[in-house]
Structure 1
């Protein structure tokens, strides 16, 4: 499998400038709100002047490969419907930047709408990441990629959590498989604030990105950890990461019950009371989080338990 390029989370802005790891020169860390305004204007302009091959998806030719192709609206294509008229616009607030970003998604084909992955689940998908000038900076090749939707940049994760999977695959008998051609297909247009922003490890600072995705499969994952003698050790707490969305906003990345800087889905002790979540979550194994002192707060999120008992 090709190494995933979009593994960085959206970075908090920590200083006005920092050293560029590649060139040794200082780079400016710009104001997020200013960059968002510029990015959004450029995205709207791009989507207003480009279209995708929607007519082929509406009436697929016999040899259609179900790949999204973007082209410019001009000449013989002057009457095409612009992408901007087809996308769904969402506003996503990023607390670390204190900025609300506009994100544009387009579900080209739904897939199985009863099986759509959530943030915190592991997906199997094909994808292609490009700049608005058509430059491909990352993509899958012979094999799909597998990753947690919380381990990629926010905008990429958003389109992954809006596409249904397909009905599976067929084993070819030679060690390979062929995926059934009914999986969800879509793309997302995202500003730098939901991408790499000013990351010194990225050549794509402050630029808009486009991801095309084919959603094949997903599964639960539990990625909490503990630190033993300065070594990070995996310690699943029994709660799938996508269910550690305490505030119910669909994004587990901002749920940090004990305020220790580690979101619950990565924290083996969610309430910071010194007792690992796995020992407080469901001791009687009835499938319901325990609330031993009856105060309406599950034990694993309640720092007063067992202190007050």
Structure 2
């Protein structure tokens, strides 16, 4: 649906984005990750024609992205921009009309979303009377009111409590089921793991990583396994040799344990099982993959080390 091709942007001779390329497929949720100042918001503004790229271009559904295509895009900026003295109702209808809806269509869609979020009672309130979380819901409604094919969301979970984060997360998954394509910039790595199909990591304007969440977590795995067993802890430890390192343990009772163990020297899980199977009764075993937060931190640290050298 969206293809970003060799985008570069410069401000005052400083490189903000350098030769960034990626694609957003139909029915996909793509995580756009990076530390503050990495260039994520600038990239989103370029896609939405708020600012222009100095190099490269963006296509929509195979065609060069133009103003007429923006009617098919819903954009939630990080800097929320609602008219404080306007009522919720007038605000939503006004922004819906800017996106091509008639007054009747905008009102119908507004009623649907206010009811879906259980906030019909807010309709006559002015924006300035709302809490930050309430205003965030109104802004989200304004973003999706015209039923866009593509959503570009900059920190969509910001300002929400856990209950409302889950509410927005479910709506995004519903949009995905409908075939909509979504780009999310977020610092909430848990939501990246739960809802994103792929992720792109940029740092200091450069693309550092790209892949499915599964691929990225496997790329950074460290050979750590979580093993739960019943038996004698000393017998288990004595059965190991130098090829394994116990890095943590949980005690569940006199003879029940969970061990976090790191493989060394090219050993495989079958080697471990053959080593300890005569000494304990294994109740569970799984490979521990790094979280997306760990992938994020390790990638940024590695990139920064390369730059400093």
* Structure-2-length-normalised TM-score: 0.24
Q: Which of the pair is proportionally richer in strand?
A: 2
* Structure-1-length-normalised TM-score: 0.24
User: Greater relative contact order (Cα 8 A, min sep 6): structure 1 or 2?
Assistant: 2
Q: Which of the pair is proportionally richer in helix?
A: 2
